[in-house]
């Protein structure tokens, strides 16, 4: 059931192929960084699928309404029984703060093409069967205004339970890593991601800090005017490794899809 999609992209120079930040057979977490203070990112969710009578973490996501979660399209473009866990910190132990929610509807962006990650549209919305209870541990994510593009080096953090290193294992506890924005003009240079990166995407981090398998769908939390706003949905990394040189983690840029999101969730 191993599902790491390697997608060939033709660009001016030979670039590493993008790889989704998901692997449904192993547990995963942020490369580098540190364990987050429990519930300090209260909109972060664990997306889990049912297999053999048990649920397994496969992706992250963000609670954007009491009954809506935003994640990556590639996380949910196969038919599965899903559940959303809110208020989680240690995905292997119940700590009494979790809310376990079933999913009534999955809406993938209509232009998503699993065979062409470089075209973008890696975003999906999941309707919960009931409303989440908001409290200290579970809060709604703030979303950016339509079209907003953050400047180079804007402060951001990736959060997730993904692999701690390429080929490693998932993190039990939610991790965070500081990953400043890499502006589009830099990230799209031929010796970086080239034409693989579209202006509907946002790059962040690189080097020793990056997303990795299992972080897919999770938020890029960026500091704007004194608050954290979810500007990205974790999408892909280089097939040559989760922290490959000049291949920062690539996110779906949320502000490019504001009208699509609002048209669904109101």
**Hey, which residues are catalytic here?**
74, 122, 216
The residues that bridge with 167 in the sheet, in sequence order, are none
Q: Whose structure tokens read 């840029």?
A: 253
Q: Distances in Å between the alpha carbon of 209 and those of 112, 130, 236? A: 27, 36, 14
DSSP state of 37: P
Measured between alpha carbons, how far is 161 from 175 in angstroms, rounded to an integer? 6
CB 243 within 8 A of CB 208: yes
Tokens (6 digits) for 48: 């889990």
Please tell me the total number of residues recorded for the chain in this structure: 266
Q: Whose structure tokens read 């580098």?
A: 32
* 136, containing H or E segment: none
């Amino acid at each position: 059931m191993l599902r790491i999609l390697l997608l060939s992209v033709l660009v001016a120079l030979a670039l590493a192929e993008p790889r989704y930040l998901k692997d449904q057979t192993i547990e995963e977490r942020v490369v580098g960084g540190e364990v987050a203070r429990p519930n300090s990112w209260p909109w972060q969710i664990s997306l889990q699928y049912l297999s053999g009578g048990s649920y397994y973490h496969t992706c992250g996501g963000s609670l954007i309404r009491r009954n809506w979660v935003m994640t990556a399209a590639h996380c949910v473009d196969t038919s599965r029984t899903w559940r959303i866990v809110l208020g989680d910190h240690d995905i292997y132990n119940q700590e009494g703060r979790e809310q376990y929610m079933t999913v009534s509807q999955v809406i993938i962006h209509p232009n998503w093409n699993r065979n062409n990650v470089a075209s973008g549209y890696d975003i999906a919305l999941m309707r919960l069967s009931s409303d989440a209870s908001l409290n200290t541990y579970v809060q709604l994510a703030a979303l950016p205004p339509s079209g907003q593009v953050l400047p180079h080096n804007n402060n951001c953090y990736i959060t997730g339970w993904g692999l701690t290193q390429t080929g490693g294992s998932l993190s039990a506890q939610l991790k965070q890593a500081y990953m400043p924005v890499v502006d589009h003009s830099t990230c799209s240079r031929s010796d970086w991601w080239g034409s693989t990166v579209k202006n509907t995407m946002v790059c962040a981090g690189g080097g020793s800090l990056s997303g990795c398998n299992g972080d897919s769908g999770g938020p890029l939390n960026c500091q704007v005017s004194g608050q954290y706003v979810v500007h990205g949905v974790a999408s892909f990394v280089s097939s040559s490794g989760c922290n490959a040189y000049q291949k920062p983690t690539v996110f779906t840029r949320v502000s490019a899809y504001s009208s699509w999101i609002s048209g669904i969730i109101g």
